[in-house]
Amino acid sequence: MKDAKRGSNVSEGVKSCMAYAGMIYVAVIALVHPLVYHDYYFDINRCKFYVFIALTILGALAVCAGFIADRRANIRLRFDMDLRSASMAAFAALSVISCLISPYSRAALVGQDGRFCGLVFVLALCIMSFITAASIQNQRDGQLKLARVLTISLIVSGSLCALLGVINRMGVDLLGFYDLLDQQLSNAFISTIGNRNFFSAFLCLIVPLSAGVYISSDDSRFTVKGVFSAASFFISVMAMFFARIDSGFVGLSVCAVALIPTAFRNKDNFRKCLALSAMFFAAGYTTRVAMLLCYVEPLRGAGSIAQFLLKGNALAIAFIISTFALCAWIGLIEKRVTDDSRILANARKTICIILALAAVSVAAFTVYMTLNPQITLSGIGRYFRINNAWGSGRMRIWRRSFEIFAEAPMAQKLFGFGSDTVVYAFDDAIASGVIAPMKKTIDASHNEYINYLLTNGILGLSAYCAFVISGVKCLLRSQCAYVRPLGLAALSYAAQAFFNIAQPITTPLFALILSIALKGGSSQRFK
C-alpha cells in the first residue's frame, strides 16, 4: 500500500516537474527571445538562432529527464501524437531527407550564411513542438496554463519591442543601435527585431494577440487585463505604422475579418471591437503627428498601404467616425440591445455581404487594370495591376521560383533543394540558363510557402501547411479565453507570410504559438 502511494507521489512529482519545465521554457522563449541582442544589428540572425537553439536544448533535456524518471519509477507519462504534432514531425523528417539528397547538403545543414534556417533550425522547431505537447498532456488544463503563460509573456516582450521601435523612429536611440550604421541602413532596422519587414511580422503576432485578450477581458470598464491589453494594442499599432510595411497591414486585415463573428456575438464584444477600431485610428493619427514633428520626409520609404492610411485627413476622419460610433453605441443603443437580440445577427450578415461584394469588385477591378496596362496607377493603386513589378518586384521572383521548380529533377520536386538553400538554387538556375540573370542576388522567394516549395519540395510544403492549418484551426475553435487570441495572432502571421520569409527572429514565436494548439480543455470561454 505504501509502495503504491509512493509510486503515485513519484508519478505526480515527475509530471509536475515536466509541466513546470514546459511552462518555464515557453515563458523564457516568449520573454527573452524577442528582446535579446548582441553586437546590435550586425549579427541579429545569428544571435537569435543560437539563443533559440540553446533554450530548446535545455528544454529538451528537462523533458528527457522526465521520461527517464518515468522508466525508472515505472510510471506513465502521456505523449499522444495529434495532427499538428505529426505534421511537424513529418516536416522535420522530410527536411532530413531533403538535406541528405540536396546538392548543397553542407549549406542545408545550418542554412545559408546569415539566415540560419537550415535543418538544425527545423529540428529545433520540431523539438519545441514536442516540449509543449509533453507539458500540456501531463498537467490538468495544460493548454490553458501554457496559453496564459505564453500570452502574457508575449504581450510584455512585444509591448517593450514596440515601444522601443516607436522611440527609435522618433529619433531617440536608447541602446545606441544606430551609432555604427549608415543613415541609409538605419531606415531598414528597428527595435531589437532588426529588419523592419521582420518587425512588421512580429507585430502581426502582438497586435492581434492584444486585441483578442482585450475582447476576452471582463465586462468592467477598467480591469488590469483590459487596460494592459489595450495599451499594448495601441503602442503596437503605432509601431506598425512606423514600420510602414504593407505585408503587416495585410496580416492585420485578415485578423480583422476573422474577428467579425466574435464582434457580433454579443453587445459587449461589439462595443470592444468599436473601441479597438477607434484605438487603431487614434494610434495611426498619433503616428502621423509624431512623423511630422520628427521627420523632414515622414513618408519616405513607406509602403503604399501605410501611405494611404497616413496621408491627408482620412485617418483623422476615420478616428472621429469610429469614436462617434462607439459613443453612440454606449450612450444611445447599448441599454436597449439585449444579448439575444437579432440586431447583431442581422448586422453581421450585412457586413459579410458587403465584404463579399467588395472582394468581387476588387477582383474585377484588378482583372480590368491588368488587361489595360496603358492606364497609369500610383500608390496603393499599383496593387490592382498584376505584373512583374507587383509587390515590390515579388511577382517576378515568384514566377522565377516556379520556373526553377518546374525544371528541377523529380527528387527535388518532392523533397526540395535543402532547407534554406534558395540562393544556391537561383545561382545554379541562372548559370544553367533556366532563368535569366537578375540585377541583384536573390536569397529568398519572399513568400514563405514558395520558399518551402523550393527548399523542402511538395511533400515538405504539404507537411508544413498541415502543421499551420491544423494549428490555426485548433486555436480559433478553442473556447479558452487565452487560447483563441493566440489563434488570431497565428492567422495574422500566416497571412503576412505570403510576402515574407522564415527566419530565426520571428518564426520560432509563430511555431511556439502553433505548438500550443493541442487539445487541453478548459471551461473558461472566449467571449
The pLDDT tens digits of the residues spanning 349-369 come to 877 888 888 889 989 988 988
Given this model, what pLDDT does residue 264 score? 81
- pLDDT tops 90 at residue 56: yes
The pLDDT score that the predictor gives to residue 331 is 57
- Any long-range contacts for 3-10 (C-beta under 8 Å, 24+ apart)? 7/73, 7/74, 7/75, 10/69, 10/73, 10/75
The more confident residue out of 76 and 107 is: 107
Residue 522 has pLDDT above 70, yes or no: no
Q: Is the pLDDT of residue 462 over 80?
A: yes
Q: Over pLDDT 90: what percentage of the chain? A: 42
Higher-pLDDT residue of 120 and 274 is 120
525: β partners = 480
Q: Is the pLDDT of residue 76 over 60?
A: no
Closest residue by Cα to residue 261 from 493, 476, 522: 476
Whether 4 shows a pLDDT value over 50: the answer reads no
Half-sphere exposure of 222 (CA within 13 A, CB side): 0
Phi/psi for 480 (5° steps) reads -75, 140
196 with 190: CB under 8 angstroms? yes
At position 438, the amino acid (one-letter code) is M
- The CA–CA distances, whole Å, from 192 to 236, 330, 365, 501 equal 14, 39, 40, 18
pLDDT of residue 141: 77
Judged by average pLDDT, the poorest of 18-22, 23-27, 67-71, 377-381 is: 67-71
Helix axes 422-431, 448-477, angle to 10 degrees: 150
Instruction: State the pLDDT confidence band at 7, using cuts at 50, 70 and 90.
Output: very low
CA distance 69 to 151: 30
pTM of the model: 0.91
Task: State pLDDT tens for residues 218-257.
Answer: 765 667 888 899 999 999 999 999 888 989 999 999 999 9
For range 154-159, the mean pLDDT: 96
DSSP character at residue 197: H
Per-residue pLDDT at 472 exceeds 90: yes
- Position with higher pLDDT, 403 vs 72: 403
Cell 509543449, residue located: 132
228 closest CA partner among 253, 255, 245, 209: 209
**Hey, what's the cell of 412?**
527535388
Which one-letter DSSP state was computed for residue 191?
Answer: T
Rounded Cα distance, 412 and 426, in Å: 14
What are the cell numbers at 53? 537553439
10 Å Cβ neighbour count for 361?
A: 10
Alpha carbons 205 and 155: distance in angstroms, whole number: 9
For residues 224-245, one letter each, b for 16 or more C-beta atoms within 10 angstroms of the residue's C-beta and e for the rest, the string is eebebbbbbbbbbbbbbbbbbb
| Separation CA 194–CA 149 (nearest Å) | 25
Distance CA 345, CA 361 (A): 24
**Non-local CB neighbours of 219 within 8 Å, separated by 6+ positions:** 268
**Predicted pLDDT at 434:** 81
**422, pLDDT greater than 80:** yes
| Measured distance CA(215)–CA(441) in Å, rounded | 45
User: Which pLDDT value is given to residue 118?
Assistant: 93
Residue of 389 and 322 predicted with greater confidence: 389
